Structure formats: structure tokens, C-alpha cells
Amino acid sequence: MTTNNQPALEEMMRDAEIAEEPGNMAPGTVISATADMTMSAAELQSAGYVYVYDTRTGDRSVVNRNMLQQQLEKRRDDNSYAFSTRKPEGVEPIRGALKCFLHDDEPDREKYNRMGFVHCTKSNFLTEMDRERHLRTRHPRAYAALENERTRADRDAERLERIALTETIRNMAGPENRGGKNGK
């Protein structure tokens, strides 16, 4: 059943594509362990997760089935639905090609492993600003460490530049060109 050329809410909820449960918890996962006792997950129950698509951009998101109706009822200013469980036809999501600084394919990954940074799989940033904002908000420890390293490198470079400039001026003055009051 459709209204105004749009599928009914109940129809979209029924036809929603099932998404994988987020997180890494599974039956048998150890939650806590002491010398005397181990606590592990025996059974997991969830309403489940499904995919929803932004009707304008085609971006796919994961939503808990308990929240699906609320997501599907969201509307834009022009009163069109913001999300659907059906991928919009003729709309391809815009994907960037930049990867997170902490991605496995980044050239400094070996150095970051030694620093104990996490591995990040995000790989679709459109701009450098998006990539840096992601690092700052999602990986604050790594961001702070890399910022300190960058600041230190900038200070060292400025120091070396001042030393080189001082040496150049000293060489230009030379012993025969040294002036002063008495020309000595």
C-alpha cells in the first residue's frame, strides 16, 4: 500500500534490510574475569538492526529496529521523508577517497603502531578538514600526540633556520668586512 507515491510506513518497516549487530559482543565473550570467577555472556537478545537510506544523498545508516519507526517518520522542511528502508533509485552516495590518518594503508602506520594508536577503517573523507576533524573527535589521544609532535617539529625547523641565518650573516660579515667604531 502506498500513499502519495510513497510506500506506507508499515511496509517499509516490514521490508527493512537486516544489518549486522554493531559491537563485538557474542555469546561466550568474557566480560570480566578474576582468579575465582569468570563472567561471560551466555545469551544476547536485541531487537535487531536494519539499514535506512537518506532519501536525498543515498547514504546508508544502521538503526536499531526499536527506533526504526521514529527514523522513518522524520521529515525535511519540504515535508518529504528524510529516510527510507529502500535505497533511492538514481541516487549514488558521494564518497570521498581520503582515509583516516590511523588507517592501515597510511604510510606512517608502522610508527603509529609503535605509539599504540588504534586502527581505523574510515576511508571516505571528502576533504582534509573532514579527515582532521574525525581525528580530533574520534581519536583525541592520537590527535594530541600528533599535534605535539608537529609542534615540536615546527619549533626544531625554526630553530635550525635561525641558526642557518645567523651563520650566513656571520659569513657575510667576514673578518675583512667587520666594521665598528675604529674599523677593526
pLDDT tens string 124-133: 899 999 999 9
Enumerate the H helices of the chain as residue ranges. 9-14, 68-73, 109-114, 128-138, 140-173
Q: For 142, which DSSP code?
A: H
Stronger pLDDT, 87 or 16, i.e. the higher one = 87
| Distance of alpha carbon 157 from alpha carbon 172, whole angstroms | 22
SS3 14: helix
pLDDT of 3 reads 47
| Beta strands 2-3; 6-7: pairing state | antiparallel
pLDDT tens string 85-106: 888 888 787 788 999 999 999 9
Q: What is the pTM of this model?
A: 0.51
